[in-house]
Amino acid sequence: MPATIAILDDDHILRLIRYAIAGPGEVTEDWARGFFLPEAMDTAIVRAAGDGLHAADGVTLLPLASSTSLRRAGDLDVLIFRRGAIDAALMEAHPRLKLIQRIGERADMIDLAAAKARNIAVSCVPRPSLQHTAEHAILLMLALGKKLIAADAALRADRWDRARVHPDHGVAYNWTGQTGLTGLYGKTIGIVGLGEVGVMAARIAKAFGARVIYCNRTRLAPDKERALGVDYRTLPDLLAESDVVSLHASNLPDNKGMIDAAFFAAMKTTAFFVNTSRGRMVDEAALADALTRGTIAGAGIDVFAEEPLQAPSPLTGLANIILTPHIAGGSRTGIVEEVAAVLGNCRAVLKGGELKYRVA
């Protein structure tokens, strides 16, 4: 029987899924190839992830859909999405619907009871790239607290005070004399934007023995806060309490430049700022000024307002900042595994096989 797949929203991974199913067209070959640069990737590998789901296999991929258009009656078999909400009314409009496939591990935007009542399978595929991003945020926090870059540089340069270092049985603690060394245990981590990556970062920070507070556009339900072990704060209170402020807010137009001079002034002078989200949310001139003046103690930055970061930049000359070139999510080639997981589930529900990451 012919099958129809719709993709509800649009971002880079969803475009790759469209390319894997339909090939060059709505998503161009140039875009697919350019997405992975400067890493090398044979786009035929991406296309192969959609084997069994091409037009020649009897599968129709609808043009980029909207939640409004999908609420009209139709013959949809599979719905793939990342953001938005899937409710009973949308399911009712598609009596043939077999699979609701979310990209990401959270299912709280899907009416699972309605799906169960209609015998619609629901899968939420976890994304390693998001977990890697959360790990990178923690990495930057630790590197700042441990003075990793300064310690490495001093050791390599053999730069230490011979008069003040007296090894004991071949052991010389901190012989390069790093000051203010700290870690995450017992610290307060403030997460701005508790989405999927923010939740992952919170879990990791908790495992290090940190206390986690958060602010978000919408506060979580009390049971979810308890399950995650996080406490809600308004933004001013979060900034006043946090030893590390980690940005994980959505890259919405209204959030452009939200991290400004007033934001940094409200932080502790001993606190660190970490950004693995999007650079355009940060006023980089205000950040450089805050680091230069000692308004905050340090920063770890993976993303920038314009990438690549143009040299010279006021950020690159500062000793109290760690900079990485937008690598928090790991290798872009790894996203092909996420695409393959989603499309493998589509094949399973349409042609038979094991459905992975099923939540309902």
Cβ atoms 70, 6 nearer than 8 A: yes
Asked if 3-125+332-351 and 130-160+172-323 have one fold, the answer is yes
> How far from 346 is each of 8, 58, 61, 265, CA to CA, in Å?
15, 13, 12, 50
Closest listed residue to residue 267, CA positions, set 342, 188, 324, 320? 188
Q: Say whether 236 sits in a helix, a strand or coil.
A: helix
Question: What is residue 98's predicted lDDT score, i.e. its pLDDT?
Answer: 97
Q: CA–CA separation, 22 vs 32, rounded Å?
A: 12
Question: What is residue 164's predicted lDDT score, i.e. its pLDDT?
Answer: 96
* Phi then psi dihedrals of residue 101, to 5 deg: -115, 110
| pLDDT in single tens digits along all 360 residues of the chain | 689 999 998 999 999 999 999 999 989 999 999 999 999 999 999 999 999 999 999 999 998 865 567 777 788 999 999 998 999 999 999 999 999 999 999 999 999 999 999 999 999 999 999 999 999 999 999 999 999 999 999 999 999 999 999 999 999 999 999 999 999 999 999 999 999 999 999 999 999 999 999 999 999 999 999 999 999 999 999 999 999 999 999 888 888 999 999 999 999 999 999 999 999 999 999 999 999 999 999 999 999 999 999 989 999 999 999 999 999 999 999 999 999 999 999 999 999 999 999 998
Alpha-carbon torsion, ordered 208, 209, 211, 216, to 10 deg? 30
Q: CA–CA separation, 212 vs 206, rounded Å?
A: 7
Q: CA–CA separation, 150 vs 144, rounded Å?
A: 9
Plot region of 117 (φ>0 → left; ψ -120 to 50 → alpha; else → beta): alpha
One of 3.80.10.10, 3.30.470.20, 3.40.190.10, 3.40.50.720 is the CATH number of 3-125+332-351, namely 3.40.50.720
Question: What is residue 67's predicted lDDT score, i.e. its pLDDT?
Answer: 58
CATH class of the domain whose range is 130-160+172-323: alpha beta
Question: What is residue 251's predicted lDDT score, i.e. its pLDDT?
Answer: 86
Question: What is residue 49's predicted lDDT score, i.e. its pLDDT?
Answer: 97
For the chain, which residues make up each domain, given as ranges?
Answer: 3-125+332-351, 130-160+172-323
Active site residues: 278, 307, 326
